[in-house]
Structure 1
Amino acid sequence: MHRRDFLAGSTVAAAAGLALTPGMAQAMERVGGEAGSTDRSLTGDFLDLTKPEGNREAWARLLGNTDTKSTKYGFAEGIIQGVRPNEALRDLVGFTMVSAARLLPHEDGVGYRKVLREIGFYTDLKTGEILTEWENPYLGETVKVVPIANDPFNHTITNFYPEPPNYGGLNREKPPQIPLMLDFRRRGGMLNLFSHINLFYPNALQPGEWPRESSGEFNRVTETFLYFIDWDAMQDPSITSVEYDGTWSRVTPWLPWMLMGPSEGHCVYQTFMGAVDSIDRLPNPDTVDYIRVNHPKYLDAPETWEEPSLSSLEWYAREQTPAPLPPSGEIPTAPRAELPQWWQRMKAARQGAGDGGG
């Protein structure tokens, strides 16, 4: 999925200890590698991934097609979980998403401009049907579901890390220009890319104006990506677009349409992701059919660079209206979860025994 392509610019050294799971071993066999291979060199016959120029071309071929004509389709599928103190995580809704991206030549003559639009839907956990309403289990309230629809979400691919998105001017940090060196890891025929970013920036939905939608004055977001890539495809100069599979997770405040307001907790996205060269190869054909009927432009990549590029929260602030408060004027919040009764009884019994023995 291409939505947050700049995220590969922020990686963690802890990823060096990633274990080789059975699923990864099978994936390596599919791409011609061996699970026990010790070949970890990132220097190939075509691209040298130890240099910014090689990283630029590898990144471009993952996110788009360097023929600067064809469309690259991204996808994500998974679930959204609720996280609150004193209770297990709760599966809330499913998630399905499709994006369409194209690379344009950079006007400086080096690198590319990636143009993209994407749309994502929340689904029923049992049936997989796209939701228009949802029963919030924390509040016991039926709420309107607002899908993700970002058009455009663009960025540049050069020899340097791109700047993080400014979220409509809300994120004003300007990091120094750093050579593009992505966290690639090779295991024989399998090439992995690990990336993550931690963000803390002003909320487009300020609580004074959006009391039911806003989780607070700032958003705290972390996104983590893991890519599985065919090493031989990446080193084949005749291949201008390299497909991949992977995972994407996002830690984020309660989604605004859930109307959780300042309730304790947050959401976690847990998904598979990937990118393919043909729309027929997308693994969520029901989603594609739904988009084709209801939102057809999202199956076509943009052809020109446009501004601004906004996230789903900025689009929400522009396109939605604040939910009304109840007549009392109080903001509804989810009741705080209590620790299990058996645990509380056990603690009370231990305390009583301790007091008696004193």
Structure 2
Amino acid sequence: MDDNTFSRRESLGLAALVAGMAAVPTAAVAAGKTPKGKPKFDFITKIDFKDPKWTRDTYARIDADIDPAKEKCGWIKGKAMGVRPNEKVRTLFGVEGFSFVRTKKLEDGSYRRMLREIVFYRDPVTGEIMKEWDNPYTGERVKVVPIANDPFNFTISEFIQGPPSYGGLQKAEPTKIPFLQNWEYGPDGSMILQTGIDMIYPNALQPDKWVRESSGVMNRVSEHFIYTVKREDVENPHLTHIPHIGAWSRVTPWLPWMLMGQAEGMINYFTHFTTVAGEKELPADIVAAARAMDEKWLHAPTEDYGPSLSSLENYAREQKPAPVPAGWTPPKPPPAPSALPMRKPE
């Protein structure tokens, strides 16, 4: 069997996901039109998993819209789980947000994607956007700080660009390694892309200053994505953005506003995402919350600027260290259970 083809068992497991793609129409279908004539933009549509230029063009069409006059809106929703030793994993809060992204084609054929993203945290019971949160690990009520990254830009090239620098905290030299991704054919004319990155780099929140916010000297993060698309969309020379549905997971230290310090444990995000037709298809409450912060969150950047920082680096720039109560120590997980008594054989 072709290594790039899902097994029957895997295909059956994806059946419901692929069926959902029928609800994500292409722009042409949504408008009731079938494009004719020469495509407005030139990009590679012949599928070749070993061609870095096909990979570049296809990923740019998924991640954004290669028509610079258009902006793509992505919506994400899920939950964040707390993980500590000796206790079950628990849901801490819901996660929901959106991004707006635009591209600019560079002289060498690469694409510069320019993005703003904002994510809010919801009460896991009521679903309301939280401004404060009762931390079950510490018993404290803390201020919630949403993810608000402006910008988060990078280049999509035929060569691997390396990990984000986060304002110089993570250093990586440019490479000439061809940009290839983990593509597979799925059931019913679908294609599945899996991407991810595993990183450890200096923490912008150093523990000597950010006693209650910092998880330690180094920051360890792992992010992974799954995209499901229609093969006919990938091969469509008129489609500058490829509609998709997908899943995003992230393993990350405790969020700084939780005030956990260097407590043992971590956060796991589990979410799904898709393309939506802009503000009108986003939940009204997160649109209102974003607009209350700044109208810019409802639009993609029109120019390339930086630096591109994650929520941790932005936290270090925009927030102040929390007071440290006398005698405070990070919360500890429950003790390990004692060994279970051995039963004597009968």
Map residues 179-258 of structure 1 onto 2, 5 A cutoff: 179-187=178-186, 188-258=188-258
Query: 1:223: Cα distance to partner?
Result: 0.6
- d(CA) in 2 for partners of 1:15 and 1:317? 45
C-alpha displacement of 1:184 = 1.4
The CA deviation at 1:337 is 0.9
CA distance in 1, matches of 2:108, 2:262: 48
CA distance in 2, matches of 1:109, 1:336: 52
Gaps (5+ residues) in structure 1? 1-12, 33-44
Which amino acid in structure 2 is aligned with residue 26 of structure 1? Answer: A
Aligned to 1:104: 104
Structure 2 gaps of 5+ residues are 26-43
Residue matched to 1:148 = 147
Identity value in percent: 42
1:24 pairs, out of 17, 29, 41, with: 17
Partner residue in 2 for 1:173 = 172
Query: CA offsets per residue over residues 146-175 of structure 1, 9 Å max, x none?
Result: 111110110111211222111111111336
TM-score by length of 1: 0.83
Does 1:333 find its partner at 2:330? yes
Give 1:1-358 correspondences, 5 Å limit.
19-20=10-11, 21=13, 22-24=15-17, 26-27=19-20, 46-50=45-49, 51-106=51-106, 108-174=107-173, 176-187=175-186, 188-282=188-282, 284-328=283-327, 330=328, 332-339=329-336, 344=338, 347=340, 349-350=341-342
Give the secondary-structure state (helix, strand or coil) at the position aligned to 2:241: coil
CA contact (8 A) 1:31 1:230 kept: no
Judged with a 3 Å threshold, the aligned counterparts in structure 2 of structure 1 residues 279 and 49 are, in CA distance, closer, same or farther, namely farther
Paired residue secondary structure (2:342): helix
- What is the CA–CA distance in structure 2 between the aligned matches of 1:153 and 1:142, rounded to whole Å? 30
Q: Aligned Cα RMSD in Å?
A: 2.5
Distance 1:89 1:124, change over 3 A: same
**What is the alpha-carbon distance in structure 1 between the residues aligned to residue 181 and residue 231 of structure 2?**
15
After the TM superposition, list the runs of 4 or more consecutive aligned residues in structure 1 that deviate by more than 6 angstroms.
Answer: 13-18, 28-32
Residues 288-344 of structure 1: CA deviation (Å, up to 9, x unaligned): 23323443211110000002111111100011111111133x4x321321346xxx4
- Shift of residue 29, structure 1, vs aligned partner: 6.9
Q: Which amino acid in 1 is paired with 2:148?
A: A
Match of 1:38 in 2: none
Q: Is contact 1:31-1:190 (8 Å) kept?
A: no
Q: TM-score, normalised by structure 2?
A: 0.86
**Does the aligned pair in 1 maintain the 2:58–2:234 contact within 8 Å?**
yes
| Residue 350 of structure 1, CA deviation | 3.5
Q: What CA distance in whole angstroms lies between the structure 2 residues aligned with 1:89 and 1:166?
A: 31
Q: What SS class does the counterpart of residue 95 from structure 2 fall into? A: strand
Between the aligned partners of 1:14 and 1:293, the Cα distance in structure 2 is 46
